Amino acid sequence: MSGKVRLGEGETARTACARALLRTGVDEETGEVLSAAVLARRVGWCADLVAGMVGVLVGEHWNRVDVEVLAAGVDAGGRRLPSHAWMALRRLGWTVAPPGGVRVNDRVVRMAQEQAGRALRSVKWRADVAAGVLAAWPADPRKRTPAEWDQVRASIPGGQHLPSSVIKGRTRQAAAFAKVNGRLPVDVFELEGVPRIPRMLLLAACDRQQAIIERSDTDPGRALLRLQLPSRPDPQTYRDWTWVECPIRLPSTVPASAVLHLPTLRLTDGKVRADMAYTHAVPKAARTGHTVAVGVDWGLNTLLSAGALRLGQDGRITALGAGGQFRAAGVLAKQHRLRRQSERLHAKADHYQRLTGGDERHHLVGKHAVIRDEIRHVSARRANLNDALAWAAARWTVDQAIAAGASVIYVEDLRSMEAKGMGATLNTRLSQQVRGQIVDRMRHVAAEAGVAVVTVPARNTSKHCPQCLTPLQHRKAPDQPTVAGWKWAICPNTGSCGWQGDRDHGAWRRIAARGLTHQAKTVIDKTSGQMVIRDVVDKLEATAVVTKISRGDRSKTGPTQHKATRPAPRRRRAPSPTRPHRRAGKRPEGHAPTDRTRLPRAAHRHQGVTTISTPTTGHRPRGAALGAGFHLNAHATPPRWETIPETQSDSGSLS
């Protein structure tokens, strides 16, 4: 299914991806119904053929000369190369053939060339960064001087706005290579080697002679994928390729009016998963002209602090409410435990590797294989937990913007942040947060509502007062003197300002105010296509202050009104039992409905850190109010009349 989306005024086309599962298929030639296992086996045969050709093609051209030829965008005759990778490779004469005796059609070769072309194009950026780092190698790789920083940024294309963490990472990688080999690497191709080839089918490189996808006319939530698959692992003739019909249940996130594209098929745990690409119309996000903005500040246990500001016609900036927080102390504690478990498993696997010495008949080879499988299992759990946390945090942030009527979300740019000076444990936890994933998910979710996501410089967002830009004084919170850290900020300008509050709440005000005053400086990054504000202008920064709203004179002008001693309506003053003894009796305590004889499971259980829980020391959220499972530990700010204390573990600030 192909075509263009009809766009209205103020709309733009957005291409997104959703995951689906191929549960069954039907062989059109024989009429045989293929189970999930049989379908996965046939898709795996085709993926093995493609992966073999991709490995040969990438291995032949994994060098600096060929990658630069492909990245130049022109062929030997000076003509511009096509945007499709498989067409560009054919224009350059980079062909590949299946193994001897195996017969595949031209569309299968296209998939191999497309995958190889994407891998070769993606390495160009890494090659430029590595070449610039090696060309401007510092005298001390552990610490560059300011002049050496200017030199290395000048040697990298676009290095002026490149995060310093990327340059430091490449420097450490080259230094490790030099320590082992006694010399610096020639380029990134010697530093990294040929990448691993994943088993997948890029059906987007095919046409109707290999794969077709059509949406159901009666049920918009269903689609039919028809594709040719081999009936044996080494097809000898074209008769060994047959058409297979695969019904797909589309996720609810795919709109009924979206245009479907051919998916990418992947094999995961013996199942065929399809990355369903689709295009639909969404409101166009504006680069400037914003009057209501949401500012987002990062934290550790309090992962996000956010709130909305309004820019008036007179240029004054006012706050819309007190803001909110997204806490993830329990999830981060779980992530920290899995990281330590992964480190222990890696250490044990390395020890077994040294003991076996490459001998396949050693009695520890079996144990080493078990440890490697456990490492992959723990890595998958960490990835899934990070993915769930990133989606939850992004969805919460966009919901705040929609509720406030904001048209833009300003997020501080922490790509260059390096955690140091806070202890080994806290530095590691800060470095392994999923800030990049959250911002990517935030852009994905915000695009559906036409809300722009812009990154702003993080300089002095927690240091200066949001109302007068005076340097703040940080100390312990007055209501939590035993909590570690310096989370409370007080403005020393008590005469005209006197602001005080959580430093993260002051930071999101500074971020949103900086974004509103610098919105004319918003640019679109050429490489990523994302909206960014690169520099802070002092003249504009001087106007990025939040105006204090005067509540007027609240002095008492008359007698106090009489209040009834008994509240109305009449309510129970003593705690009621947790559950009724019989169907007719006293109401249950808390938020549980009266028609259920048992309270929710989360109200009576205790979860330790070994599952997915928040530490119980100093932080005891009520399960009936907060839910269960993941959302028991990653929750947003509750109603203002019902507060949740902060977790007493590794409090810190990222600004």
* Residue 540: inside a domain: no
- Residue 514 CA to residue 521 CA, distance in Å, equals 11
SS3 637: coil
350 membership: H or E segment, kind and range? helix 329-356
Q: What is the CA radius of gyration of the chain?
A: 29
Check: CB of residue 54 under 8 Å from CB of residue 111.
no
| Whole-number pLDDT of residue 628 | 52
Nearest to 472 by CA among 606, 655, 610: 655
Asked, for residue 510, whether it belongs to a domain, the answer is no
Closest CA to 429 of 270, 250, 298: 298
Two tokens, residue 257: 């009016």
Q: Is 479 part of a structural domain of the chain?
A: no
> In 10 A of CB 642, how many CB atoms?
9
User: Do residues 226 and 211 make contact, with C-beta atoms less than 8 angstroms apart?
Assistant: yes
- Closest by CA position to 385, among listed 346, 334, 345: 334
3-state helix, strand, coil in the chain (%, to 5): 35, 20, 45
Contact in structure between 133 and 177 (CB atoms under 8 Å): no
Max Cα distance, the chain (Å): 100
* pTM higher than the cut 0.85: no
Element (H, E) at 69: helix 64-72
SS3 382: helix
Of 535, 566, 593, which marks where a domain is finished? 535
Residue type, position 13, single letter: A
pLDDT score recorded for residue 495: 78
User: 234: which residues sit within 8 A by CB, 6+ positions away?
Assistant: 99, 101, 102
- The residue range of the domain holding 192 is 20-244
**pLDDT tens for residues 210-254?**
999 999 888 889 999 999 999 999 999 999 999 999 999 999 889
Angle at the Cα of 233 from the Cα atoms of 227 and 239, rounded to 5 degrees: 55
| Domain stops at, among 503, 535, 567 | 535
Each residue's pLDDT tens digit, 122-166 = 999 999 999 999 999 999 988 899 999 999 999 998 888 888 888
**Is 304 found in the same domain as 170?**
no
Q: Are residues 326 and 427 in the same domain?
A: yes
Contact predicate 274/263, CB 8 Å = yes
Q: Are residues 233 and 364 in the same domain?
A: no
**Residue 359 and residue 237 in one domain:** no
The pLDDT, as a whole number, for residue 475 is 84
Quick check: is 365 in a domain? yes
Residues 6 or more apart from 578 whose CB is under 8 A from it?
588, 589, 599
| One-letter identity of residue 39 | L
Work out the number of other CB atoms within 10 angstroms of the CB of residue 452: 25
User: Is the Cα torsion angle 464, 470, 474, 480 positive or negative in sign?
Assistant: negative
**In a shared domain, residues 49 and 184:** yes
**Has residue 287 been placed in a domain?**
no
Q: Considering 213, 244, 275, which residue would you say is the last residue of a domain?
A: 244
- Give the 3-state secondary structure of residue 351: helix
pLDDT value for 127? 93
Report residue 575 as tokens. 């705690």
Whether 315 and 208 map to the same domain: the answer is no
Return the pLDDT at 481: 74
- Identify whether 585 is part of a domain: no
CATH number at residue 361: 3.30.420
Q: What is the amino acid identity at position 188?
A: V
Ramachandran assignment for 321, one of left (phi > 0), alpha (psi -120 to 50 degrees), beta (any other): left
The phi-psi region of residue 270 (left if phi > 0; otherwise alpha if psi is between -120 and 50; otherwise beta) is left
Residue among 641, 610, 606 at smallest CA distance from 622: 606
Average pLDDT, the chain: 83
**Size of the chain, expressed as the number of residues it contains:** 655
Q: Verify that 165 and 313 share a domain, yes or no.
A: no
Alpha-carbon distance of 7 to 65, in angstroms, equals 43
Within a 13 Å sphere around the CA of 573, how many CA atoms are in the beta-carbon half?
A: 4
Q: Nearest CA to 16 among 447, 384, 436? A: 447
DSSP character at residue 99: P
Q: How many angstroms separate the Cα of 559 from the Cα of each of 299, 562, 567?
A: 46, 9, 21
The answer on 296 and 237 residing in a single domain is: no
Q: Which residue has the tokens 């007698």?
A: 559
Q: How far apart are CA 211 and CA 203, in angstroms?
A: 7
**Residues 120, 232 within the same domain:** yes
Q: Which residues of 191-227 are buried (b: 16+ CB within 10 A; e: fewer)?
A: bbeeeebebbbbbbbbeeebbbbebeeeeeeebebbb
Cβ pair 339, 642 in contact under 8 A: no
Q: Where are the strands (E) in 355-504, listed by range? A: 408-413, 452-457, 473-475, 488-490, 500-502
Q: Is residue 240 part of a domain?
A: yes
Domain match, 528 and 436 both = yes
In a shared domain, residues 226 and 302: no
Q: Are residues 224 and 310 in the same domain?
A: no
134 Cβ neighbours under 8 A, 6+ residues apart = 174, 184, 185, 187
pLDDT score for 428: 59
Q: Is residue 425 part of a domain?
A: yes
Alpha-carbon distance 271 to 190, whole Å? 35
State which amino acid sits at residue 163: P
Q: What pLDDT score was predicted for residue 452? A: 94
Spatial distance between the Cα atoms of 197 and 204, rounded to a whole number of angstroms: 18
In 120-239, DSSP assigns E strands to: 200-202, 211-215, 222-230
- Which residues in the chain land under pLDDT 50? 1-2, 587-592, 599-616, 621, 623-627, 639-655
Q: Quote the pLDDT of residue 61.
A: 94
| CB distance 256 to 217 below 8 Å | no
pLDDT of residue 377: 93
Show the beta-strand stretches assigned E in 250-372: 259-260, 264-268, 271-283, 292-298, 302-311, 317-327
- The Cα 305–Cα 299 span in angstroms is 7
Total domains in the chain come to 2
Determine the Cα–Cα distance for residues 156 and 136; give it in Å rounded to an integer.
9
pLDDT, position 616: 47
List, in order, residues 6 or more apart from 411 with CB less than 8 Å away: 296, 439, 442, 453, 454, 455, 456, 511
How far apart (Å, rounded) are the C-alpha atoms in residues 647 and 276? 40
Pairing of strands 259-260, 241-249: unpaired
DSSP-assigned letters across all residues of 219-257: -TTEEEEEEEEESSSS--SGGGEEEEEEEEE--TTS-TT
Per-residue confidence (pLDDT) for residue 447, from 0 to 100: 92
